Amino acid sequence: MKKFFGAVSLIGILATTLAAQNPDSPKSPGGATTAQAAGDTTRIRVRVELVNVLFSVTDRKNRLVLNLSKDDLRVLEDNKPQSIRFFSRESDLPLRIAILIDTSNSIRDRLRFEQEAAIDFLTTTLRPHKDQAFVVAFDVEPQLLQEYTDDMEKLSKAIRGLQAGGGTGLFDAMYFAAKEKMLFFPPPEPYLRRVMIVVSDGQDNFSEHARDEALGMAQRGEVTIFSISTNRPNLEVGDKQGKGDKVLKYLAEETGGRAFFPFSASDLAADFQEIARELRSQYSLAYVSANTVHDGAYRAITIQSRDKNFRVRAKSGYFAPSQ
């Protein structure tokens, strides 16, 4: 099945008789009609805005559900039903992965576990000549340690070179990664899986950008955020999530990703591998919005399973095209 991503122009090709019957066809620089210059073919271009959504489905035990069809789902935009035009299983999309690792003082004693888990994840996930990743470290400001590459030696060297120290500028790091590295991709890569993995305690005390600014930039870039908390569970208060963990959960859920809260630093590897498995076990659907207004507004998306035992995890919305 042909795949679509973002706003796509669908082109209809009409028979040459239309050009032959129209003596006023536009002239090309050489004097021929447009139809003649194109080999006696007239093309009428009709722009159709496809809204694309990648999503995962799990059962009550949080196991991935992999056998659904489009008839098993409903799509709502701003609470109004939409018609699904395209639907497929997506297990082989090229990946573009951002690894954002908090190197502030608060995670100093867990940094080694984070480094090794991130390297193991990339080693098992990246496919040469198809997937690429880049590495950003952040404390008071983001620092690009390794540009996009599929070279594991370069990625491993960048990650192992991380050193802890300083405050935390989580939202600036997210904003930087999304805007500078993930907001758009030139041809021939129009259909990619953009993923941001944030390893942090969720605290922020240095960013110039607010939380929702960073989130909005990720949403514009069609980025899915997976967050891994470095906070230690507090058994004395019943493992209740603190402010930082709630931030990480919010960022992940709003983009269709997932937040992980490992019990100990040694559990990081299992969480990374769960992310890798989910990236190969997703669905994709596309619909043409019934709202044709080009106002640049944010529109809420809800995907529902007709089976109430299943839960759909997808981005919460998208920004409409602007005028």
Predicted confidence band at 17 (pLDDT cuts at 50, 70, 90)? very low
pLDDT at 233 over 50: yes
Predicted confidence band at 185 (pLDDT cuts at 50, 70, 90)? low
pLDDT at 229 over 80: yes
pLDDT one-digit tens code per residue, 23-75? 444 443 344 444 444 455 556 555 568 899 999 999 999 999 999 999 999 99
State the pLDDT at residue 309.
97
Domain residue limits, the chain:
8-47, 49-91+282-319, 95-279
State the pLDDT at residue 189.
55
Quote the pTM value: 0.83
Give the β-pairing of 311-314 and 50-58: antiparallel
**Separation between Cα atoms, residue 33 and residue 179, nearest integer Å:** 43
Q: Is the dihedral of CA 260, 117, 115, 197 positive or negative?
A: negative
pLDDT at 271 over 70: yes
Query: What is the chain's Cα-based Rg?
Result: 23
What's the mean per-residue pLDDT of the chain? 85
User: For the residues 284-292, what does the mean pLDDT come to?
Assistant: 95
In a 13 Å sphere around the CA of 265, the CA atoms on its Cβ side amount to: 12
Range from 4-18, 75-89, 193-207 carrying the lowest mean pLDDT: 4-18
State the pLDDT at residue 33.
40
Q: Per-residue b/e over 71-86, b at no fewer than 16 CB within 10 Å?
A: ebbebebeeeebebee
pLDDT one-digit tens code per residue, 101-142? 999 988 888 899 999 999 999 999 999 999 999 999 999 999
Highest CATH level, class, for 95-279:
alpha beta
State the pLDDT at residue 240.
60
Predicted confidence band at 235 (pLDDT cuts at 50, 70, 90)? very low
Q: How many helices (H) and strands (E) would you count in the chain?
A: 8, 16
State the pLDDT at residue 92.
86
**Burial classification of residue 302, based on how many CB atoms lie within 10 Å of its CB (0-12 exposed, 13-18 middle, 19 or more buried):** middle
State the pLDDT at residue 38.
46
User: For the residues 212-233, what does the mean pLDDT come to?
Assistant: 93
pLDDT at 200 over 70: yes
pLDDT at 218 over 70: yes
Which residue do the tokens 């032959």 mark? 20
Predicted confidence band at 313 (pLDDT cuts at 50, 70, 90)? very high
Q: What is the largest CA-CA distance in the chain?
A: 84
**Answer CATH for 49-91+282-319 from 2.60.40, 1.10.287, 3.30.70, 3.90.1690:** 2.60.40
Which residue do the tokens 């709202």 mark? 291
State the pLDDT at residue 44.
57
pLDDT at 8 over 70: no
**Separation between Cα atoms, residue 256 and residue 186, nearest integer Å:** 24
